[in-house]
């Protein structure tokens, strides 16, 4: 049986190889719900949470596969000259926007576990001619960066895929300089998911099954040492029946709807 990390690598490498930008968000919304996108196409990667980056300075459409769940750089307080680290950087979407904020005097580092994403990101970097952007193939659970070398950490819909979130946030704390901070967009839930949803490995690649309950997620960040932890933005995401029925029975779906558990996209900021 494939491990969760093997599944994640396979799914996201497939995004680069087989389904460029069109693999992102697409589906219709439920009434009064935030944008969702689980329907036709590659359901493993249709997260339904992606937001529009196109008006941001530094945006590069070749780096945007619509796989995020927020815009963390918008809340990151990035300044000229900062060193910024993007965890799970994909093809470089947040990296290139952050680069426009740090300017020529700063630096942006992206780390991703998928070789195909790193290759795509480096191809984009070469096209753009940036010499202060670096992409590193690596596992964000085991960061190899030196301690206290980064001003700001950002991440977009990635940390929920990590098994040990507390250890990952402790690593973020370690690489941040004194008075550094993070701004991270992620997926959480407002209550317990059914066993069938939680155990569906492919859903990890869609940011759902690995999502913690919101209060537990915030507590985990604080346990890692962070102060002033604040949710800067939150929205509910509707998961269509036809998507969930790929993983659970009709009876389980009815129970899930009756529970009124919500899947939430949140952007959180915290200080070292």
Structure tokens of 216? Answer: 């537990």
Q: Which of 164, 185, 272 is nearest to 226 (CA)?
A: 272
For the segment 216-223, the average pLDDT, to the nearest whole number, is 97
Query: Model-level pTM?
Result: 0.83
Percent helix, strand and coil across the chain, each rounded to 5? 35, 20, 45
Residue range 104-133, pLDDT digits in tens: 999 999 999 999 999 999 999 999 999 999
The residues with which 150 forms a beta bridge, in sequence order, are 176
* Euclidean distance between CA atoms 113 and 125, whole angstroms: 18
Ordered by start, the domain boundaries in the chain are: 4-271
Lowest mean pLDDT among 115-124, 139-148, 202-211: 202-211
* Euclidean distance between CA atoms 229 and 227, whole angstroms: 5
The pLDDT of residue 31 is 31
The 3-class secondary structure across 147-206, one letter per residue, is CCCEEEEEEECCHHHCCCHHHHHHHHHHHEEEEEEEEEEEEEECCCCCHHHHCCHHHHCC
Question: CATH number for the 4-271 domain, one of 3.30.1440.10, 3.40.50.150, 2.60.40.10, 3.40.1030.10?
Answer: 3.40.50.150
Residue range 153-192, pLDDT digits in tens: 999 988 988 888 999 999 999 999 999 999 999 989 998 8
* Euclidean distance between CA atoms 122 and 92, whole angstroms: 8
Cα torsion angle, 78, 64, 116, 126, sign = negative
The pLDDT of residue 200 is 64
Mean pLDDT of the chain: 83
The size of the chain, in residues, is: 272
Cα torsion angle, 154, 238, 35, 117, sign = positive
* Euclidean distance between CA atoms 28 and 16, whole angstroms: 24
Q: DSSP letter for 34, please.
A: B
The pLDDT of residue 204 is 56
């Amino acid at each position: 049986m494939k491990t969760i990390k093997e599944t994640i690598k396979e799914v996201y490498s497939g995004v680069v190889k087989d389904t460029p930008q069109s693999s992102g968000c697409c589906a219709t919304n439920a009434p009064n719900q935030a944008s969702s996108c689980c329907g036709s196409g590659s359901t493993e990667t249709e997260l339904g949470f992606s937001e529009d980056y196109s008006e941001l300075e530094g945006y590069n459409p070749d780096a945007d596969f619509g796989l995020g769940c927020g815009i963390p750089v918008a809340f990151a307080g990035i300044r000229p000259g900062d060193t910024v680290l993007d965890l799970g950087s994909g093809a470089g979407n947040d990296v290139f926007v952050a680069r426009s904020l740090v300017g020529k005097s700063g630096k942006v580092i992206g780390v991703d576990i998928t070789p195909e994403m790193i290759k795509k990101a480096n191809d984009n970097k070469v096209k753009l001619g940036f010499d202060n952007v670096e992409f590193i193939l690596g596992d964000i659970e085991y960061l190899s960066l030196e301690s206290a070398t980064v001003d700001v950490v950002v991440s977009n819909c990635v940390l929920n895929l990590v098994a040990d979130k507390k250890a990952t946030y402790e690593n973020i704390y370690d690489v941040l300089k004194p008075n550094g901070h993070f701004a991270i967009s992620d997926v959480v839930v407002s209550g317990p998911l059914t066993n069938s949803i939680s155990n569906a490995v492919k859903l990890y690649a869609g940011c759902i099954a690995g999502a913690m309950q919101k209060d537990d997620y915030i507590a985990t960040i604080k346990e890692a040492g962070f102060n002033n932890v604040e949710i800067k933005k939150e929205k509910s995401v509707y998961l269509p029946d036809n998507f969930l029925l790929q993983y659970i029975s009709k009876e389980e779906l009815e129970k899930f709807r009756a529970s009124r558990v919500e899947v939430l996209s949140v952007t959180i900021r915290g200080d070292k």
